[in-house]
Amino acid sequence: MLTPQPGAKPEYIDDIRLVDDSPALLAIWQNNLPSDQITIEAYSKDSWAWKPGSDWATLTVESSTGRNKLPGFCDYLKQRQKSAVARFPPTGIFVISYIQPKSTPDAFRMQCRIAIDMSRIPNCNLKPLTVPKAAIKPPSTSVGRPRQGGGLLAKLVGAQERTNYHFAMASSKKKPDAAPVNAAVEGVSTKSSVTKRTAAEVFSAFRQSMQDKMLDFDLDESEEVLHVQVSLAEHVAGLSDEDKGRVTMEVLKYMVYEAAEEVNDEWIAHKEPSEFMDEVTIAIYKEGAAPDNVLEEVNKGELPDEVRGQQRAIQEERNRQVNKAENRTSQLVEADAHRQLDDEDEEDLAVLNTSKRDRRTIEDYEREKKRSRGS
């Protein structure tokens, strides 16, 4: 059985049977699994799920129905590089790794791993599966309204029936003490459990979700654009004040860009305009699908801050040199204009001094001439 998402109803995949004829493996298969049904509840990309170890028992299984569903399921795990995880009480764990031996499709066999005590697995952060306690059932005696009758015996019987009735009603109204099943694996988070989460868990779950979306988008050839909506309020719910300061919108946006680049570095991620600070929509375009305006904005924003600072400094220096040249040119033009004005003033003065009309009379001229001869 496969659970598509936490809290959803498990879906049937296939029936499997053990291929190994070893008595030890057969005993592990029969004595430790609680029932004939294995429910895969989560996935993990951590190394503990596929690394070999002495605490693991490796089993080889095959389909007993001939539905040929196991090869497709293993390809799904291999493409996403994650392992399927199932737990069983009290402390057991069942893992299907994405690393499988080569096998032909017509005789496909799958390797699984079982650990009786998950606490002995290094770096395994899973918690044992908690089985809810059985609900308290009301007594099997009749719980209808007590009868009213006469006589001492009838009163005793009526009192007993009233006691049974009230006890049954109180038991049915009381909720059973069922501890919630913790199905959280690093990289998987549930929306219902919003208490006592950490920033590391939020980042791990968000990164896993983005990687799954990008891989699905890559496999879907009919889609060219993927819109990823990120809401900060959704991810900081249930965090402490200290962890809320770590989970920021900038970090979440960077993780979306990183997930897109890991799947295909030719894709273009572009943040669309938004009216809210805590909600953004990032459009992921496949190669050749991005419009021109998006390409122009992306090309402007691809440069790092250091390069932008250098370009800004170069542009400012160019503007300063241009302004300096313009000021020098204006000064030269102004000086030349003043020089021309001075030359024109001197020419006018010379003309006035040389071509001025002599207004003396002949008598005055003769008198001055005689005076100059006598002196």
Confirm whether 22 is domain-assigned: yes
- In angstroms, the CA 362 to CA 73 distance is 134
Q: How many CB atoms lie within 10 A of CB 93?
A: 24
Confirm whether 191 is domain-assigned: no
Examine the domain organization and report whether 234 and 329 are in the same domain. Answer: no
Examine the domain organization and report whether 218 and 291 are in the same domain. Answer: yes
Size of the chain, expressed as the number of residues it contains:
375
The residues pairing with 257 across neighbouring beta strands, listed in sequence order, are none
Confirm whether 283 is domain-assigned: yes
Backbone Cα Rg of the chain: 45
Q: Which amino acid is at 65?
A: T
The total number of structural domains that make up the chain = 4
Structure tokens at 114: 């079982």
pLDDT by residue for the chain (375 residues), tens digit each?
555 445 556 777 778 888 877 777 777 777 766 566 788 888 888 888 888 888 888 888 888 877 777 888 888 888 888 888 888 888 888 888 888 887 766 677 888 888 888 888 888 878 887 765 554 445 444 445 545 555 655 666 666 676 666 656 655 544 444 444 343 333 444 344 445 788 888 888 898 889 888 888 888 888 889 999 998 888 888 888 888 888 898 999 899 988 888 888 888 888 888 888 888 999 999 988 888 888 877 776 655 666 667 777 788 888 888 888 888 888 888 888 877 776 665 555 555 555 556 677 888 888 888 888 776
Examine the domain organization and report whether 87 and 113 are in the same domain. Answer: yes
Domain span at residue 152 reads: 138-178
H-type alpha helices, the chain: 23-31, 70-80, 152-173, 199-219, 232-236, 241-246, 249-263, 292-301, 305-354, 362-374
Examine the domain organization and report whether 278 and 364 are in the same domain. Answer: no
| pLDDT number for residue 362 | 82
Examine the domain organization and report whether 321 and 353 are in the same domain. Answer: yes
Contact 63, 72 (CB under 8 A): no
Confirm whether 189 is domain-assigned: no
Helix (H) or strand (E) holding 284: strand 279-285
Examine the domain organization and report whether 297 and 319 are in the same domain. Answer: no
pTM of the model: 0.38
Structure tokens at 19: 């291929």
| pLDDT number for residue 193 | 43
Whether omega for the bond prior to residue 90 falls within 30 degrees of 0, making it cis, is yes
- The secondary structure of residue 177, as a DSSP letter, is -
Confirm whether 249 is domain-assigned: yes
Confirm whether 280 is domain-assigned: yes
Confirm whether 285 is domain-assigned: yes
Examine the domain organization and report whether 161 and 208 are in the same domain. Answer: no
| pLDDT number for residue 281 | 92
> Which of 302, 329, 349 represents a domain boundary (last residue)?
302
Phi-psi region of 134 (alpha: psi -120 to 50; beta: other; left: phi over 0): beta
**Short-list 270, 250, 274, 273, CA closest to 260:** 270
